[in-house]
Amino acid sequence: MQWLRAYDRALASRPIVTKTLTSAALFGAGDYLSQQLEARQAAPGAAKAFDPARTARMVAWGATFGVLAHGWYSVVVERVVTAKGYSGVALKVLGDQLIWTPPLNMLFFTFSGTLEHGDPAKAFAAGQRKLWELLKVNWGVWFPVQTINFTLVPPQYRVLFVNTVALFWSAYLSSMAADASSGAPTAVAPVAPEQAAGPGAEDRT
């Protein structure tokens, strides 16, 4: 496929920029999807207008995430975990979900809440209230996704695979962030498997 070859060339020549732009675009698209779902679920006359600032915050997070994920997956995961076969996959998935994911999600809540309200302490406290709820959903989705990723997906395409799944996950994340900042209950359930991004290996990453 031509678009995949173009992506492959961009990944080979400018891996961090490619992952950053891909993550930013897909997280922004995920927020747009989330807002559309929220509008459809709202009671007649209660639907909110589209919030471009909320989408912009998710685009900013996506760009930040792309850079962080490049470092985690290409430097830490691929170079620290040297075991091969199923044991290597198991260690990568466990490290991804138990070491990387909890602080990453706290950073997400703090980042998005600070951009929205300008108060890092308030954003961090809101993230603490939501973290366990988010992690339970996250692990149900991302343990199997990352097992597939580390088992079947070639290293140079892992970030693309995860970002594609994360299109739906970012819709859920955006809804969680909006609820955390308002104190309201979660409005939108995850619409499909999906967060994280990352990967790669060798010189492609």
Q: Is 102 exposed, middle or buried (0-12, 13-18, 19+ CB in 10 A)?
A: middle
> In whole angstroms, what is the distance from residue 75 CA to residue 72 CA?
6
- Is the pLDDT at 191 greater than 80? The verdict is no
pLDDT of residue 72: 86
What's the helix, strand, coil split of the chain in %, to 5? 80, 0, 20
Q: For the chain, how many helices (H) and strands (E)?
A: 8, 0
Stated pTM of the model: 0.78
- Phi, psi (rounded to 5 degrees) for 46: -105, 0
For residues 147 and 149, what is the distance between their CA atoms, to the nearest angstrom? 5
Tracing tokens 């091969």 back to the chain, one arrives at: 84
Residues in the chain, overall count? 205
CA distance 12 to 199: 13
d(CA 201, CA 50): 39
94 closest CA partner among 80, 75, 109? 80
Domain boundaries, the chain: 2-204
**Among the listed residues 19, 29, 112, the one whose alpha carbon sits nearest the alpha carbon of residue 72:** 19
Tokens of 134: 């988010």
Read off the pLDDT of residues 117-160 as tens digits, 9 standing for 90 and up. 999 999 999 899 989 988 998 899 999 999 999 999 887 777 77
Q: How confident is the model at residue 13 (pLDDT cuts 50, 70, 90)?
A: very high
CA–CA–CA angle 82, 152, 14 (5° rounding): 75
**Residue 179: what pLDDT?**
65
52-81 per-position pLDDT tens digit: 999 999 999 999 998 998 888 888 888 888
Residues 6+ apart with CB under 8 A from 169: 30, 141, 190, 193, 194, 195
Residue 161 phi, psi dihedral angles, 5° rounding: -60, -50
Task: Please state the rounded mean pLDDT for residues 166-187.
Answer: 63
Query: What CA–CA distance (Å, rounded) separates 21 from 52?
Result: 18
Is 101 within 8 Å of 138 (Cβ atoms)? yes
Average model confidence (pLDDT) across the chain: 81
